[in-house]
Amino acid sequence: MGSKDRILRLKEDTRANILDAALKIAKQEGWQSLSMRKIADAIEYTAPIIYEYFANKEAILLELTKKGFSILTCQIQNARDQHLLPARQLEAMWFAYWDFAFAEKELYQVMFGIEVNCCELARILPESEGPADLICDVIVALMAPTVPTEEDLCTKYYTFWSVIHGLISINIVRRGRSDEVNQEVLKIAIGGIIRSIAA
């Protein structure tokens, strides 16, 4: 490996270490505790080194938001690919969404601003469209042979999202019920929306 390759790899590793440290701090202490100084201390660098990679904390949150949407998109796609029928695909996709929200709680929080100020730029990230695009494609398949208008498709997607995201948010802020109750509510809600779409 040449010296240029080694330097590039070292930079990529340092950047990844900064992001990993930020996420670890958020998991241990919450997003409110995250600071450039804490990240620097965690990876044993000085704060000015961190600023060479990220202009500010907001830039770190944006990068973690991108990462979260990429992971979520992959998991939703994998869930979809395990089923042939659109109704089963939608159910599996929304359960994958739910699972992601709790397996990657801190990423979900920063992606959607739950107990943390999310990055306003996250709304324009191309990565943020991945989960919705996959789900909307299956909603269109479920509605076939009818071709929904853009407005109708948007309404159906947001009906799903508002219910699932609402239930996730309630649980993240510790106002939810037991896992069994949550799973039952989730199954009833997803099933009801699927039936209304397919009708």
DSSP type of residue 199: -
For residue 123, what pLDDT band results from cuts at 50, 70 and 90?
Answer: low
Q: Is the pLDDT of residue 190 over 70?
A: yes
Average pLDDT over residues 38-44: 93
Average pLDDT over residues 132-142: 95
- 47-59: pLDDT as tens digits: 888 999 999 998 9
Distance CA 146, CA 71 (A): 31
Q: Quick count: other Cβ atoms within 10 Å of Cβ 33?
A: 10
Distance CA 191, CA 47 (A): 50
Instruction: Report percent pLDDT > 90 for the chain.
Output: 70
Q: Is the pLDDT of residue 21 over 60?
A: yes
107: its two tokens? 């990423």
Name the most confidently modeled range: 50-64, 78-92, 184-198: 78-92
Q: Is the pLDDT of residue 6 over 80?
A: yes
Q: Quick count: other Cβ atoms within 10 Å of Cβ 155?
A: 11
pTM (2 d.p.): 0.88
* Domains of the chain with bracketed CATH: 1-54 (1.10.10.60), 57-198 (1.10.357.10)
| Residue 115 backbone class (left: φ over 0; alpha: ψ -120 to 50; beta: rest) | left
- 170-180: pLDDT as tens digits: 888 776 678 88
